[in-house]
């Protein structure tokens, strides 16, 4: 297994650890979850970058990389919705978009075509990661490991009411816009409707 694929698999393993830390009553559980989520997010950049740079793109990577991304983000948004950090409809919107785009890719694959990720989709992923990290860091700020960050969230502009809401709604806007854009640019695969 090449290095990019190992990074992709490690993202799945890190996601399991992240979910466990967020779900179990552990001391500094959220703090450790922040670290695991951040590392998993970084692997998302490096697996694709290395695969393209060294021309070692594989069928496994084409399948597993977007799947690992979707599992990581879906898990994070579901956990934040369950903890009532964000409205459930936001998590549902994120999940619906991911299923929708995956469906488009499956239809294209059935026609022998592989659809690449778009730049808007990459921006969407970045803002989803920023949103998750913001809210996880806020929750972790009451734990000893990240207590140093608590004053940051006390500043009005950086509070959940201001910065938190901006992150949620901007990430949701990009989620919807990138899903629509992906469909529109690939609408030819539905020409037989």
pLDDT at 94 over 90: yes
pLDDT at 179 over 80: yes
Summarised one tens digit per residue, pLDDT across range 37-83 is 999 999 988 887 787 888 887 778 777 888 899 999 999 999 999 99
Does residue 43 contact residue 95 with C-beta atoms inside 8 Å? no
Alpha-carbon span 39 to 162, nearest angstrom: 26
Does residue 81 contact residue 88 with C-beta atoms inside 8 Å? yes
Does residue 71 contact residue 128 with C-beta atoms inside 8 Å? no
Exposure class string for 95-107: b at 16+ Cβ within 10 A, else e: bebbeebeebbee
Alpha-carbon span 19 to 123, nearest angstrom: 24
pLDDT at 129 over 90: yes
**Domain 3-190: top CATH class:** mainly alpha
pLDDT at 140 over 70: yes
User: Which of 181, 178, 190, 37 shows the shortest CA–CA distance to 94?
Assistant: 178
pLDDT at 193 over 70: no
Instruction: Report CA dihedral (51, 56, 58, 63) to the nearest 10 degrees.
Output: 0
pTM value is 0.91
The reported pLDDT for the residue numbered 77 is: 96
**pLDDT: which is higher, 106 or 35:** 35
H helix runs in the chain, sequence order? 3-23, 29-53, 59-82, 88-110, 119-140, 150-154, 165-185
| Over residues 145-160, mean pLDDT | 94
The reported pLDDT for the residue numbered 53 is: 85
Alpha-carbon span 61 to 127, nearest angstrom: 23
Q: How high does pLDDT run on average in the chain?
A: 91
pLDDT-derived band at 102 (thresholds 50, 70, 90) equals confident
pLDDT-derived band at 2 (thresholds 50, 70, 90) equals confident
| Over residues 150-163, mean pLDDT | 93
In a 10 Å sphere around its CB, with 0-12 CB exposed, 13-18 middle and 19+ buried, how is residue 133 labelled? middle
| Over residues 5-31, mean pLDDT | 94
């Amino acid at each position: 297994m090449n290095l990019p694929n190992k990074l992709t698999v490690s993202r799945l393993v890190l996601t399991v650890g992240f979910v466990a830390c967020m779900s179990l009553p552990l001391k500094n559980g959220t703090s450790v979850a922040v670290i695991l989520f951040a590392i998993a997010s970084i692997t998302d950049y490096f697996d694709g970058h290395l695969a393209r740079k060294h021309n070692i793109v594989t069928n496994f990577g084409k399948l597993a990389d977007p799947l690992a991304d979707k599992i990581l983000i879906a898990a994070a948004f579901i956990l934040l919705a369950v903890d009532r950090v964000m409205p459930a409809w936001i998590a549902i919107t994120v999940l619906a978009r991911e299923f929708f785009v995956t469906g488009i890719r499956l239809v294209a694959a059935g026609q022998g075509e592989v659809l690449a990720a778009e730049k808007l989709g990459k921006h969407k992923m970045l803002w989803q990661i920023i949103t998750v990290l913001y809210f996880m860091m806020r929750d972790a700020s009451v734990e000893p490991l990240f207590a140093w960050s608590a004053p940051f969230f006390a500043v009005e502009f950086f509070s959940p009411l201001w910065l938190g809401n901006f992150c949620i709604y901007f990430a949701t806007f990009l989620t919807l816009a990138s899903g629509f854009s992906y469909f529109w640019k690939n609408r030819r695969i539905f020409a037989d409707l």
